[in-house]
Structure 1
């Protein structure tokens, strides 16, 4: 399939936007970037359609990425722990070694993923520039990437579980208390935002009634 030069710039912009959106999710949560032409076209269309909602999700994915990158420790199923929390645990030399191993393994995997995304991006741009795309091959690579990401996640989870299992009861209680307090704060923020939205709707309704 040949792609005319007049359409190439537009298609390139669409592909770049789709990859930028999906790469953030892939780096943060172990998901693969969009690879098909349909996915590439759908991503910016959804962004235009949903506006602020799409920007919110992009910000959320970016926040997840930073949490993953900056985490001093990870509790599978519950999320990251900051440096201050980990320091308060007074880890033993053996626990610290397990922690360092888990972090190094995760950082190496993250670097490999970024390189894979960059390589895939360059390959697809080259295909577009040449005027030839291969959806079947792209889907196969996406499936392979998903399988590899799942295997990597399972490996990381096993290492982080080893860190958790090495903690004594007092240390585990500290972590559980911190996660509980964090969950409470998050729930309160959600409730506050919900209340703000309701107040805005009431104000808008009141203004419309006055105007009418």
Structure 2
């Protein structure tokens, strides 16, 4: 048996959007269940995101520490951000986020993995890239504000992040998924077998 996710859409008989925010909204759908009953499903509508696991020549990962108000914690994360416009090329967005958050550019890009962050309550899809061949970006640093103004930056050995994820010391989903995916890739067919940076992404289709 081949284990893979497949597209499917159950019939929606009614829908409303009780909240619309700056970047996301909340939708309420009345969905027909397999037994014929109708159930209400409330979920966040999200434009999608990209994240970058940037790995340097010393096998260290570029990480950022940022305050996240909903969980009342400062979390270590990898650079990440929203897809600003529908159909935006995720690689372009990833390059932008790496530049804006870390003032770094990368020569080699691969798709590490694609995930839905919380599919029971949000339609957010995230593409996590592996970026190598790091260098300081040219030009002036991007001006930050709000939580990002307090952001710290570090480079941490991949092995330390894997240990921290498994020990329950690191909790950001993109960081945890990213470092474990890279460790799994190395233990398997190797990073050269990863998908190219422009691989199709059905969850958020884009133009090259």
What TM-score does the superposition give when structure 2 sets the normalisation length? 0.24
Higher relative contact order (CA 8 A, sep 6+): 1
The structure in which a higher percent of residues are strand is 2
The structure in which a higher percent of residues are helix is 1
* Greater Rg over alpha carbons, structure: 1
What TM-score does the superposition give when structure 1 sets the normalisation length? 0.24
